[in-house]
Structure 1
């Protein structure tokens, strides 16, 4: 193998990519520090309120203020849990205790108070450092552009330990700004981790809490799956009782009438038989529709994209299907996805006023992603009797998730994610 000895001018691509990664990491860390500054200010206010309530307890009136102070502690702690969950592993908050005695005896509340005091001091300091370092760096790096327009008392660097009188001094201040940029790139991630460390340590749930929450979630999804199953059985029973059964009863009645009329009036009997045949065909059509609603044959025989294409072709609103599924998913998962799309397209046709819709299906990372979007007037409500609750129950029964975005004025986007193990 021959290796070229000629190196291209400039920085190597690998080094450029490494610097870009470090720069993005530093920017993320600064954003984290500034976000921590916000919760630190809230923690400082909550600390002062808790200290005031504790001091008032010596006068006997603090026991009225103490519950509100502890509720403020929990609110600030939950806000920090949400912030930390966006930057790393999710932190689940504990269940709120009932009553002042339970609050004072709750281990999680004591941890939250310790975190709040620590974050009000350390988190506030680190947040201020994270907020001022970029401003100081920007001030010094651009200092040669405007230093001559400043009054002599204001011609100083961000560190403020000398006054600039000439261009060499202005360039030196710019060098300090470049050094501050280097300090940000090197130190900001460590500062962000230090700021988050008390929250990760004190606000995380006790061992076993995740298992308890998982059991509770599985219990809820199992109950939802049973409810969805019962609802589906009732729908099938109602469809058979109100439609197919009535048609078959009509066929029986018409056949009896034709039998009685056969001897006295053959022409009338033939007409009654024609009506009976029509009723039997209608009953058969309704029965096929009920069977297709349980599991469409095209879904069982071919694939989910083909079934969704057939579903979109029958939608009154023009609908386009984009599918990226290199392999089949489990039948139960595909049936749930089909049901979700069918219900969503029904809602679009009935309620949205949309002119077009789009269905996107793809498999990535062992998950089946389904997105239904329309350009209607929006305002879809999960509790408005539009079938979205049924979709959520079916999806959650498979440990999936459902997200609905439907602002007034549109558009409406329904996203379903289902584990498919592929």
Structure 2
């Protein structure tokens, strides 16, 4: 716990140096953008200048959003969907910029954002420097002598005793600074979120856009799944059942003339019907596994883990059942993640952790393989995202080169029934 606090403090202190520079950069960006806005009535020159400066403003605002999200203050992008790329610098593009409220909120944040971020960053950097000066005072006394460092500017000292006292004081002040630094950085990001986060109307618009895309994806996925089922039935069980019918028909013709041949045909028909039944069971299991309906999500994932060639530990803190579509989505998402691990991860062991708290179902799938998983380069992980997106779920991947790979899936839902 203490190590995490120290790490967060060091990170916030280092970020403060960049925050000072970025905050000071806000002022020339604001000046250039205002110049572009003033010249926008001028054909070509004004629209092009405003297009370039607007991109710079949005780059700066998006950088602040990313930094805030990394620091634990998530800030979403609120912009309207842009026109096509060919409209860049045209009056249509200019109208898109001018009529987007987020453009003016970005501009309004630049000056007060600098006035908040720069002083807070200077406070953090100054306190760290002052603390380090106190910690380093004693070594300077011991190695450089009293002649060179007789009276410190930041830590006035007249003797070795004063230098010895500066050391613990500097350490205490450094510890306090590292504890306070993340709070000050968070304060700056919370202030930025007032301007840079979507308004209530923008949130509603983003929500509608997200639902439109996710529902369209769900419809496409459902249509693809129906086509797969139809294809599997047509090429598998249906073809076998037709073959069984034809074989039985031949046996009917031979039953009086050649009973032995008719018996062989009937035996062949029975074997084909058994194979068709197995294929139907596999097909049903792919639609909704029976073990999922009987034993719930926890039991189904445990059964899945037992069938894998890689030792897979399952830890569950689920205290109830969920709606069938939710359980099915999470089960197949976990199954796909484990399948990717088996195919590409070259892992020696894996684990699955599931928990439910405060209306959020979380499933974590990890392995000790080679890492390097990327949702943008494979259809499996993209399929998991699409499956979870239907329920407003999210997926995050941590897979550095050399491993381990951890896929975290979160899905908002409610308990359907308590576990007795």
Equivalent residue number for residue 131 of structure 2: 137
DSSP 3-state at the match of 2:280: helix
Find the aligned partners of 2:400 and 2:362 in 1 and give their Cα distance. 22
Distance of aligned partners of 1:303 and 1:158 in 2 relative to their CA distance in 1, 3 Å threshold: farther
Contact 2:13 2:178 in 1 (8 A): no
Which one has a bigger Cα radius of gyration? Answer: 1
Distance of aligned partners of 1:417 and 1:68 in 2 relative to their CA distance in 1, 3 Å threshold: same
Give, in angstroms, the shift of residue 341 of structure 1. 2.3
DSSP 3-state at the match of 2:364: strand
| Of 409-418 and 131-140, the range deviating more from structure 2 | 409-418
Find the aligned partners of 1:225 and 1:112 in 2 and give their Cα distance. 34
**Structure 1, residues 310-335: CA drift from partner, whole Å, max 9, x if none?**
22232233433332323223322221
- What value does the CA root-mean-square deviation take over the aligned residues? 3.6
DSSP 3-state at the match of 1:213: helix
1:173-212 matches, cutoff 5 A: 177=170, 184=177, 192=185, 195-196=188-189, 198-212=191-205
Residue 306 (structure 1) aligned with residue 299 (structure 2): yes
Distance of aligned partners of 1:406 and 1:123 in 2 relative to their CA distance in 1, 3 Å threshold: closer
Equivalent residue number for residue 218 of structure 1: 211
Contact 1:50 1:66 in 2 (8 A): no
Equivalent residue number for residue 86 of structure 2: none
Find the aligned partners of 1:383 and 1:133 in 2 and give their Cα distance. 43
**Structure 1, residues 1-58: CA drift from partner, whole Å, max 9, x if none?**
xxxxxxxxxxxxxxxx9xx9xx95x996785465354244134335435646766988
Find the aligned partners of 1:183 and 1:309 in 2 and give their Cα distance. 47
Equivalent residue number for residue 412 of structure 1: 405
Give, in angstroms, the shift of residue 336 of structure 1. 1.4
Equivalent residue number for residue 22 of structure 2: 42
Find the aligned partners of 2:376 and 2:196 in 1 and give their Cα distance. 34
Q: Which runs of 5+ in 1 are unaligned?
A: 1-16
Equivalent residue number for residue 105 of structure 2: 111
Residue 81 (structure 1) aligned with residue 65 (structure 2): yes
Q: Quick one: which of 324, 333, 337 aligns to 1:340? A: 333
Find the aligned partners of 1:82 and 1:304 in 2 and give their Cα distance. 35
Q: Quick one: which of 324, 328, 349 aligns to 1:331? A: 324
TM-score (norm 1): 0.79
Q: Quick one: which of 360, 364, 367 aligns to 1:371? A: 364
Give, in angstroms, the shift of residue 342 of structure 1. 2.4
Contact 1:37 1:126 in 2 (8 A): no
DSSP 3-state at the match of 2:322: coil
Give, in angstroms, the shift of residue 155 of structure 1. 4.1
Distance of aligned partners of 1:247 and 1:140 in 2 relative to their CA distance in 1, 3 Å threshold: same
Give, in angstroms, the shift of residue 65 of structure 1. 4.2
1:143-292 matches, cutoff 5 A: 143-150=137-144, 152-159=147-154, 162=156, 164-170=157-163, 177=170, 184=177, 192=185, 195-196=188-189, 198-292=191-285
| Of 224-233 and 45-54, the range deviating more from structure 2 | 45-54
Contact 2:27 2:114 in 1 (8 A): yes
Aligned length: 398
